[in-house]
Each structure stands twice: as structure tokens, then as C-alpha cells.
Amino acid sequence: MVETYQRRSALAHLGLVARAASSSTAGAGVIMSEVPHRTIVNVRGTASDVAFSSAVQTATGLALPSAANTVSNGGVWQIVWLGPNEWWITGPDGEAESLIEALRANFAGQHAIACDVSESRAIIALKGAKARDVLMRGVSLDLHPRAFRVGQCAQTGLSRANVLLHLVDDTPTFEIYVLKSFSDYLWQWLEKVAADFNLAVEA
Amino acid sequence: MLLIPCPYCGKRDEHEFTYAREGHIARPTNGEQLTDAEWAQYLFMRKNPKGVHYERWMHAKGCRRYFNVARDTVTHEIYAVYEMGQPAPVIERENGR
């Protein structure tokens, strides 16, 4: 755990708080912001094993998402589908250790793992009427609301970075999880594209 | 550009995948008894068919899982996609190329 007073988010060097203060979101087609310090716990296990799925449910109060490319959403936690035997549990900052402790206790005797990967990703939130148009310039997925619905997620390539896209609501708001080392590049790429759609920055 | 149906994530663009060469090649369990020629056969010799090819792909930008694909090397048509460990399906083709 990084000492809190030394801790900086991946995009802190861009001075987004100061930029947001001088940026008006009124009439903006796209609003970009960073979601700093979200807890991400990687969980792997056998989906069809009831002991495993109930272990996750006991710890988070959430069922594993049954369908591919979907997110199950609860009050505190979200479970993001990554693969047939792999998920992320995401939630508020500082909760990773207690969650992992609870998961590992429930996983006793199982072929399953829980691992804190919070510091691996930066999260960029992209919202507004033109958010889809921005993403469409760098993604090969069909992002039409009929094909990519609220609550769906997908791991794919966005420009030259590998990302996980999550459509949070129908504003639309996308959350883009990207490896921290790619976050500066991706932010700048998004900003360049979003400049065509009246961009505003939010803290 | 191929549209490859990942058995886990669904149809995705070819650039999300990496090619992992011919599938269904079993490593010999009696390696110490093989002649050099037999070992070389296992290591280096691969099919290069004009027609159905059984190969592996990995969904590198998605779920990062390997899976098998039966693909036509002439038309690029994908006949079947199936999980690792499953037997290769028999593909009947119309024109018998």
C-alpha cells in the first residue's frame, strides 16, 4: 500500500483539477475525467463451481455476471467479466485488503485466486452525446446502443492501447480501463479526437 | 481482414487476435526414445494445406484465451471455432479444393 500522502493518480501530472476549474461543461459534446484510485481485485476460478460463485457472492453481495462481456453492479462492488474464468471486482479506494481477506477465507480448499491489481490500471471516464463518436475513431467494436448496451463491457484495442470499455449509463458514460503506462498516451489521443466534438474536462 | 468469432467474447476484428500456428500437435511423451528425425518431425514439420487448416488463435486484446479455428486457407472462410482440448471437427467442403 502506497503512503497516502505520496500517492498520485496516473494522470495527476496533467493538472486536471486546474483545467476543470477553467473548463465549462455547458454545451460540451464530450466530457473527460480521470477516475483515480479505484480498487481492482482480479479473481479467477471455475464459474460452474457453486462453491466458488457463492464464495464471491458472500464476500461482495453480488452474483458473478452470467453472460460474457457484462458487469454486475451492486451498491459497493461491481464484478466485471474478463474471460470464462476471470473477473475483476472493482470498488472504492482502500477496500482491497479487506475484500481479498474475505475472498481468500471463502476460497479455502478451492482452485481459485484473488489478487489486488488496483495500481495496474488508470481509468478515464468519457461521457456526453458525442462520446461514442470519439471512441468510434479508435475501436473496431460496434458501439451502437443496440449492440453495446448499458452494463456491457469489452476488452479491445482503442487506438494503440489495450483497454477495457464499460458502458456505465446511457448519457452515454464510458469508463476506459487502461494500463497506467498507456494512460498518458491514451488521454492525449482521446483529447485530440475529442477536440472535434467540443471537449470539456471535469475533475 | 477476418472477423473471428471468439468462443468466449463473440465476433471480433482480426487485429485483436494473435495467430498461434497449427493446432492438435501433441508433444511426444517418450521424448528420450525418439530419433533426431522423429523429434524434428514434431518440432518443425507443419502442414501447409490448400483448403481447411486446423489452427490456434489467441484473443490477445480480449479474454487472452487460446482456442482452435478451422479456416480455409484459400477463401479465409472460418468453418468452426472450438475450445482447446476438443477434437477437430470434420469439415465437408462443397468444391473439394
Task: Give per-residue pLDDT as tens, B9-57.
Answer: 999 999 999 999 999 999 999 989 999 999 999 999 999 999 999 999 9
* A82 to chain B: closest CA residue: B63
CA B22 to each of CA A76, A121, B48: distance values in angstroms, whole numbers, following the listed order: 45, 34, 9
Per CB-CB distance under 8 Å, the chain A contacts of B61 are: 155-157, 162
Per CB-CB distance under 8 Å, the chain A contacts of B15 are: 140, 157
Angstrom distance (rounded) from CA B18 to CA B22: 13
Cell readout for A94 is 482502500
Q: Which residue, chain included where needed, has cell 490500471?
A: A121
Q: What is the pLDDT of residue A1?
A: 64
Q: How many CB atoms lie under 10 A from the CB of residue A142? A: 11
Q: What is the third-level CATH fold of B3-25+38-83? A: Folate-binding fold (3.30.2270)
**Sequence spans of domains, chain A:** 11-37+120-201, 39-118
In this predicted complex, what is the ipTM?
Answer: 0.89
Cβ of A140 within 8 Å of Cβ of B10? The answer is no
Cell readout for A25 is 461543461
Q: What is the pLDDT of residue B94?
A: 64
Q: What is the third-level CATH fold of A11-37+120-201? A: Gyrase A; domain 2 (3.30.1360)
Angstrom distance (rounded) from CA A187 to CA A177: 11
Work out how many CB contacts closer than 8 A connect A with B: 35
Q: How far is CA A29 from the centre of its chain?
A: 21
Q: Enter the DSSP assignment of B26.
A: P
Q: Which of A9, A8, A3, A14 is nearest to A188 (CA)?
A: A14
Chain B interface residues (partner A, CB cutoff 8 A) = 8-10, 12-13, 15-16, 60-65
| pLDDT at B96 exceeding the cut of 60 | no
* B3 to chain A: closest CA residue: A140
A39-118 and A11-37+120-201 share a CATH fold: no
pLDDT profile of chain A (203 residues), mean per 10 = 78 94 91 96 96 96 93 94 96 95 96 96 97 96 95 96 97 97 98 96 91
Q: What is the pLDDT of residue B97?
A: 47
A57 touches chain B (CB under 8 A): no
**Sequence spans of domains, chain B:** 3-25+38-83
* A141 to chain B: closest CA residue: B12
Cβ of B16 within 8 Å of Cβ of A157? The answer is yes
Q: How far is CA B53 from the centre of its chain?
A: 7
Q: What is the pLDDT of residue A23?
A: 87
Yes or no: say if B28 and B42 are a contact pair by the CB < 8 Å rule.
yes
Per CB-CB distance under 8 Å, the chain B contacts of A179 are: none
pLDDT band at B1 (very low <50, low <70, confident <90, very high): confident
Domain A39-118, classified CATH 3.30.70.1520, yes or no: yes
Contacts of A8 (CB under 8 A, 6+ apart): none
User: Residues A152, A10, A186, A43: is their CA dihedral positive or negative?
Assistant: negative
Q: What is the pLDDT of residue A150?
A: 96
* Nearest chain A CA: its distance from B71 CA (Å): 22
CA A104 to each of CA A69, A76, A89, B17: distance values in angstroms, whole numbers, following the listed order: 25, 19, 14, 33
Q: What is the pLDDT of residue A5?
A: 73
